[in-house]
Amino acid sequence: MTRDAALVVPLVDQLGNTLSTDQILAVLANLGSPYAALATPAASPTFPHDTHHFRVLNRLKQEGWLSKVTRRVSKSQIGVTVE
Which pLDDT belongs to residue 73?
82
Mean pLDDT of 10-33: 96
Counting residues of the chain whose pLDDT is more than 70, the rounded percentage is: 100
Average pLDDT over residues 27-38: 96
The three-class DSSP label of residue 78 is strand
Spatial CA neighbour of 61 closest among 26, 36, 25, 30: 25
Q: Cα 76 to chain center, whole Å?
A: 15
Length of the chain equals 83
In this prediction, residue 1 has a pLDDT band, given cuts at 50, 70 and 90, of confident
Q: Provide the residue range defining the domain that includes 27.
A: 5-82
Distance CA 33, CA 64 (A): 21
Tell me: the pLDDT tens digits for 36-76?
999 999 999 999 999 999 999 999 999 999 999 999 988 89
What is the number of domains present in the chain?
Answer: 1
Instruction: State residue 71's pLDDT score.
Output: 94
Arithmetic mean of pLDDT over the chain: 95
